[in-house]
Amino acid sequence: MHVKAAHVIRALDCARGGPVDEGSVGAGTGTIALGWKGGIGTSSRKLPSELGGFTLGVLVQSNFGGDFTLDGVPVWRELRGLPSEPPPSVGHHGSCMIVVATDAPLDSRQLGRLARRAVLAMARAGSSSSNGSGDYVIAFPTTNRPSAARLAAGPPSLLPPSEEELSPLFEAAIEATEEAIDNSILRATTVHGRDGHVVPAIPIEKLREVMEKYGR
């Protein structure tokens, strides 16, 4: 394996708080998302108090094919034919790795339901999860769950939300994941790999023109 124990230990030792670097970081040079340079992207949502007031954050590592769609705009169609246009990515076999964290006190079954919703964001962004695309989601709560001994002593202070109360969290997970995918592309830069391989970043100024054309 390329990743050794020393690499994991170094990553843990270097971990820090604050904003997460986005774009062409923490991923291989060849990562391509929806036809353009991909990488790391993040986003979050905070529900209003009447819906629980919970916070949900998402981190993605994008490396998958499809037709880039931004806020409903067919970016892939508008940018077709540019000199910097990358090769078609519909059949690009990669993996979108999605991490969802929330302070909502969810149990394991509810976390599984939340994780399955996050994948829906990939379709919004233009992916069809082609054959060979190994996409997956990890979802976890940051809220401390009561131990078995604590449960035996009495009712816990933090109860999982009811099933109906999960719907706003589902929506938050989809929105944040879609935005994180977008950020991974918009923050990436053109990279040059071995044997002359080049993965171009999406041309931001051209993208601005496209979005303005569609009234965004």
**Residue 95 known to be catalytic:** yes
In a domain, 99, yes or no: yes
Mean pLDDT over 118-135 rounds to 87
In a domain, 191, yes or no: yes
* 5-14, 160-169, 186-195, range with greatest mean pLDDT: 5-14
Radius of gyration of the chain (CA): 19
Distance CA 184, CA 172 (A): 18
Residue 68: what pLDDT? 94
In a domain, 2, yes or no: no
In a domain, 6, yes or no: no
Type of residue found at 117: R
In a domain, 195, yes or no: yes
**Residue 135 known to be catalytic:** yes
DSSP 122-180: HHHHT----TT---EEEEEE-SPPPPHHHHHHS--SS-PPPTTTHHHHHHHHHHHHHHH
In a domain, 1, yes or no: no
Report yes or no: 34 and 91 within 8 Å, Cβ to Cβ.
Answer: no
Copy the structure tokens of residue 145: 């769950």
Residue 90: what pLDDT? 47
Of the residues 127, 135, 182, 184, only one is catalytic, namely 135
pLDDT (tens digit per residue) in 27-38: 666 789 998 999
Q: Is residue 87 over pLDDT 60?
A: no
Percent helix, strand and coil across the chain, each rounded to 5? 35, 20, 50
Q: Is residue 74 over pLDDT 60?
A: yes
Phi, psi of 165 (to 5 degrees): -75, -10
Of the residues 43, 89, 133, 184, only one is catalytic, namely 133
- Put simply, whether the predicted model's pTM sits higher than 0.75 gets the answer yes
Mean pLDDT over 74-95 rounds to 70
Please report the sign of the dihedral spanned by the C-alpha atoms of residue 102, residue 98, residue 177, residue 170: negative
Nearest to 141 by CA among 172, 167, 107, 170: 107
Name the DSSP letter for residue 86: P
Report yes or no: 107 and 36 within 8 Å, Cβ to Cβ.
Answer: no
* Total domain count, the chain: 1
Q: Is residue 153 over pLDDT 80?
A: no
Give strand pairing partners of 136. 97
In a domain, 31, yes or no: yes
Question: What CATH number is attached to the domain comprising 102?
Answer: 3.60.70.12
Range of the domain at 195: 19-211
Of the residues 95, 103, 129, 130, only one is catalytic, namely 95
In a domain, 13, yes or no: no
